[in-house]
A and B are shown apart, each in its own frame.
Chain A
């Protein structure tokens, strides 16, 4: 099975940077995903890492260290619309996802 930990809540100011950490213990690893979920809506895909290192996509970047069982999602130039929950998920060898409980990010003006 998978054990995935991420902080429950984070608050940051508009224009700032926030880093959401995710640690995992897994019986099989086939990629790490980050999803964004606004309140009352479905999760939407943000990023994917399968190899160690940083993946950058606009204002969002995601980092993976497989040896440490660690990932982070970096949100830069925060905007009010970035207020949402961010879900860390690990994919196993059968292509099934296990999700962390999610981190609620609140962006303040």
Chain B
């Protein structure tokens, strides 16, 4: 059982570069989420998708975009990275109404 995979595990990126973080789940969950986790701030929702073909903005969406072309994949794109986007990014999925979200292993991103 793979669950949720994220790639890359970590990345160092120059400011201004474009970057896509990948997230794939094999649980056929309809909902998927992207969070960033920063020290002292906890997990904050960036974007979410309740079903393939739909997306929504979370608490901190600026500078990020997402797409949901199919059930399994939910990539997060930074069009032009800035140092304030240095963070650990977690992807999660759930069935709507299910008790819990399942989290991927995370991507540690450093923007210099």
The chain A residues found within 8 Å of chain B, CB to CB, are 1, 31, 33, 41-45, 48, 87, 89, 94-102
Contact = CB atoms under 8 A, between A and B. Distances in A.
A20 to B, nearest CB: 14
Nearest to B91: A42
Contact of A99 (B42, B100, B105): B42
B99 A42 contact: no
Interface of B: 31, 33, 35, 40-45, 48, 50, 56, 58-59, 90, 94, 96-97, 99-106
19 contacts: A1-B59, A33-B100, A42-B103, A42-B106, A45-B99, A45-B100, A45-B102, A48-B100, A89-B43, A95-B31, A95-B50, A95-B96, A96-B33, A96-B45, A96-B58, A98-B59, A100-B42, A101-B40, A102-B42
A1 B57 CA distance: 13
